[in-house]
Chain A
Amino acid sequence: NAGVTQTPKFQVLKTGQSMTLQCAQDMNHNSMYWYRQDPGMGLRLIYYSASEGTTDKGEVPNGYNVSRLNKREFSLRLESAAPSQTSVYFCASSEQRNQETQYFGPGTRLLVL
C-alpha cells in the first residue's frame, strides 16, 4: 500500500495563478484533511472531509476550496495564489473522524512569487 500520496511534490506559482493540489489514499479511510505548515510552525487545518460527499472548514480556510472527488481523493484548490500561501501542504486521512490516528502524506512545497 502506498498510504497517502500527494502531487506535485514542489510547485512555483506567480501571484494570481491558480492550481490544484491532489491527494489520494489507498487505506479505505472515510476522513481526509488538508493542513498547511509555515516555516518553524506547527500544522494548521485548512479543510477536512469527514466522509465522502462532505467537507468542512478548519482553522484557516480563506483562499482555498476543496473537493472530495470520491472516497480515495481529496483535492485542494488555490483560485488566486498569494505570497502568503507559500507553505508546505500536507494531506492526511483517518478511518473515522473521532479521535482516530491520522496518516500523513509527504507534503507539497508551494512557493508563490
Chain B
Amino acid sequence: DAKTTQPNSMESNEEEPVHLPCNHSTISGTDYIHWYRQLPSQGPEYVIHGLTSNVNNRMASLAIAEDRKSSTLILHRATLRDAAVYYCILGLTGNQFYFGTGTSLTVIP
C-alpha cells in the first residue's frame, strides 16, 4: 500500500495562510495526489487533487514538488471552519485510497 507521511497536528491563526505538507516518496508515475478533509463527526470531503502541475480551486491550492515525492496543501486564509483533519492520499490505480492518520489543523481566533 502506498504511504504518505504528514505531521500529526498543526496550528494556524485565523485569516493567515496555512501550508500543510505531505511526503510520498514511493509515489509511482500514475498516482494522483488527493487531499480530503474531515470535519468533526462528518464524512471526509474532497479538497483538491493533482498529478504533476500545481492546481488551484476555490478551496485551496496544491503545490507538487518537481520530483513528486512531496506536496503541500495551501489554504490561503484560514477560517475557523477550516479546522479539520486533512488527509493526503495517493490515488492508486483502481481508486483504492489509503488514508493515513492525517494532520489535525487547529485554527486560532
Binding site for B on A (CB under 8 A): 4, 31, 35, 40-45, 48, 50, 58-59, 90, 92, 94, 96-107
- Interface size grouping (class) on chain B: 20 to 34
Residues A45 and B42 in contact in the complex (CB < 8 Å), given A99-B32, A101-B49:
no
Contact with A along B62-95 (1 / 0, CB 8 A): 0000000000000000000000000100010111
Binding site for A on B (CB under 8 A): 1, 32, 34, 36, 41-46, 49, 87, 91, 93-102
Residues A42 and B93 in contact in the complex (CB < 8 Å), given A101-B49, A104-B43, A104-B45:
no
Choose among A4, A40, A45, A105 the residue that contacts B97 (Cβ–Cβ < 8 A).
A45
Whether B99 pairs with A42 at a CB distance below 8 angstroms is yes
Question: How would you classify the secondary structure of chain B's contact residues: helix, strand, loop or mixed?
Answer: loop
**Which A residues touch B34, using CB under 8 A?**
101
Please report the C-alpha to C-alpha distance between residue A58 and residue B49 in the assembled complex, in whole angstroms: 22
Choose among B43, B98, B99 the residue that contacts A106 (Cβ–Cβ < 8 A).
B43
**Which A residues touch B101, using CB under 8 A?**
40-42
Shortest distance from the beta carbon of B5 to any chain A beta carbon, whole Å: 13
Whether B95 pairs with A43 at a CB distance below 8 angstroms is no
